[in-house]
Amino acid sequence: MSSIRTTQGHGKLFESILDTVGNTPVVRINRIAPAGVTVYVKFEAFNPAGSVKDRLALNIIEAAERSGELSPGQTVVEATSGNTGIGLAMVCAAKGYPLVVTMADSFSIERRKLMRFLGARVVLTPKAEKGLGMYRKAKELAEANGWFLARQFETTANADIHEATTGREIIADFEGQSLDYFVTGYGTGGTLTGVSRVLRRERPDTRIVLTEPANAALLGSGIEQARSSDGEPASSHPSFEPHPIQGWTPDFIPLVLQEALDAKNYDELIPVTGPEGIAWSKRLASEEGIFTGISGGSTFAVAMKIAETAPADSIILCMLPDTGERYLSTPLFEDIAEGMTDEEFALSHSTPSYQSTR
């Protein structure tokens, strides 16, 4: 008989919740990966506020503290689809900064509630104005009130933290074995840009695969992003269409991502549809016990496409950006019943004790 699992603790006591950001696990896919290849996921839901954006949120604030751009007690403001705002709300709560978030009203209700629960104020902008609308509102509020604008889409603090943490973790976790493919989507572009710096330098044989929504193929269009002199988007990208993969691909190509594009730091671009991402998110949950959102399911969908044709014994690593709990009001959960299903009702009536009624 096998022995019971045991744990030993971290071997240290943490001074702050912020000290727990990063060092997320790489987990093997056991039941749904094709035979002949090995698929791993880097599960960013293990960050304390539940997403990969905890990394950039922490570094944006600490870089601004080091540079003097952010003063004690100063209000922080940022435009976000949710995960960066949640991460910033956690960091600002722990450090004592007020936070105002601007967010298009098309993003999930859970996200605004989570940010407000963590002490942030959330200013909604019309969905017709897309990502650029919430971006402009954040900039206006910063200029009008003297607040610190986090600028996740432009700041060097974004990709730098992924180079210093995410990329280093991958190198350490795959020490002594091959890593044939690294698969990621993009929101701000920080994960791709930061991790690709490390992989190109230290694991040049790793093939880097980028993905974006099929109906919002900004990179696939080949059309360059119009920018102002400081790198901010001057207008919405003409190839953008609304898509269900929240957290991915705003209606402009972020400046943070542009570095990786200019350096050709990815080898292949594979589009994915929202329904594919939803389907694979559900399979990860029900067949692997891995609970991720639509963005994670979409990245995984591309990893599975690669797995179907990859050479034998290939090793694939896929980024899973967040947890599925912030998608309860999205299409990811639209066919999940609140009441009992027919099968559950029948189970209720299959034994004589309490039987539910409809």
Alpha helix (H) residue ranges in the chain? 53-67, 83-95, 109-117, 130-145, 156-161, 167-173, 190-202, 255-262, 274-283, 294-309, 342-348
Residues 207 and 219: their CA atoms lie apart, in Å, by: 18
37 CB contacts (<8 Å, ≥6 apart)? 307, 310, 312, 313, 314, 315, 316
Look up 81 and say whether it is catalytic. Answer: no
Which residue, among 135, 190, 192, has the nearest Cα to 157 in the 3D structure?
190
Residues 195 and 256: their CA atoms lie apart, in Å, by: 12
- Read off φ and ψ for residue 159, nearest 5 degrees: -65, -30
CB atoms within 10 A of CB 286: 11
Half-sphere exposure of 69 (CA within 13 A, CB side): 15
In a 3-state reduction of DSSP, which class is residue 319?
strand
Which residue, among 277, 162, 131, has the nearest Cα to 212 in the 3D structure?
277
Residues 271 and 346: their CA atoms lie apart, in Å, by: 42
Look up 53 and say whether it is catalytic. Answer: yes
How do 207-213 and 268-272 pair as beta strands? Answer: parallel
Q: Catalytic residue among 53, 130, 137, 281, which?
A: 53
Q: Catalytic residue among 81, 236, 295, 314, which?
A: 295
Alpha helix (H) residue ranges in 40-166? 53-67, 83-95, 109-117, 130-145, 156-161
Residue 247 tokens, joined: 């957290």
The catalytic residues are 53, 295
